[in-house]
Amino acid sequence: MQPGLLLAFEDETQAAEALASALGLPMALVARHRFPDGECRLRLPPVLPERLLLLRGLQQPNEKLVELLITLPAARALGARQIVLVSPYLAYMRQDMAFAPGEAVSQRHIAALLAGQVDGLITVDPHLHRIASLDEVMPGCRGVALSAAPLLGAWVAQQVPGALLLGPDEEALQWVAAAGLAHGLEHAVCHKQRLGDREVRVALPDLPLRGRAVVLMDDVASTGRTLVEAATAALAAGAATVDVAVTHALFVGDALAQLRAAGVRHVWSSNAVPHATAVVPITALLAAAVRAF
Ligand code: R5P
Q: What tens digit of pLDDT does each residue of 177-199 get?
A: 999 999 999 999 999 999 999 99
For a pocket test of ligand 1, which of 169, 190, 226 has the largest count of ligand atoms closer than 8 A to its C-beta? Answer: 226
Nearest to 47, CA basis, from 92, 80, 69: 80
The amino acid present at 51, given as its one-letter code, is R
pLDDT at 27 (0 to 100):
98
Per the document, the length of the chain is 293
Atom of ligand 1 nearest to the CA of 225: 14
Return the DSSP state at 172: G
Rounded to the nearest integer, the mean pLDDT of the chain is: 97
Backbone φ and ψ of 192, nearest 5°: -120, 140
Cβ atoms of 6 and 286 closer than 8 Å: no
Ordered alpha helix ranges (H), 91-224: 106-115, 149-159, 173-183
* Ligand 1 near 221 CB (within 6 A): yes
Distance of CA 252 to the CA centre of its chain: 14
Q: What is the CA radius of gyration of the chain?
A: 20
Which one-letter amino acid corresponds to residue 263?
G
**119, amino acid identity:** D
Distance 284 CA to ligand 1 centre (A): 26
Asked if residue 12 has its Cβ within 6 Å of ligand 1, the reply is no
Q: What's the pLDDT at 129? A: 83
Confidence of residue 130 (pLDDT cuts 50, 70, 90): confident
60 closest CA partner among 87, 97, 98, 20: 87
Q: Which amino acids are annotated catalytic?
A: 192
Average pLDDT (220-238) is 98
Question: Whose CA is closest to atom 14 on ligand 1?
Answer: 226
Report the nearest atom of ligand 1 relative to the CA of 224.
12
CB 86 within 8 A of CB 54: yes
By DSSP bridging, strand 40-43 and strand 5-9 are unpaired
Q: Does residue 222 have its Cβ closer than 6 Å to ligand 1? A: yes
- Which residues have a Cβ under 8 Å from the Cβ of 247 and sit 6 or more positions away? 124, 125, 147, 148, 149, 152, 175, 218, 219, 220, 269, 270, 272
Q: What is the C-alpha to C-alpha distance for residues 56 and 54, in angstroms, rounded to an integer?
A: 6
Please indicate whether residue 91, judged by its CB atom, sits closer than 6 Å to ligand 1: no
d(CA 269, CA 276): 9
Q: Which helix (H) or strand (E) holds 239?
A: none
Residue 256 has pLDDT above 90, yes or no: yes
Grade residue 131 by pLDDT with cuts at 50, 70 and 90. confident
The mean per-residue pLDDT over the stretch 257-279 comes to 98
**DSSP character string of 101-145:** TT---HHHHHHHHHHTT-SEEEEES---SSSS-GGGT-TTSEEEE
Residue 175's closest CA among 103, 61, 280, 51? Answer: 280
Q: Given this model, what pLDDT does residue 218 score?
A: 98
Q: Closest by alpha carbon to 58, among 12, 104, 116, 5? A: 12
Q: What is the pLDDT of residue 1?
A: 77
Maximum Cα–Cα distance across the chain: 62
pLDDT given at position 128: 87
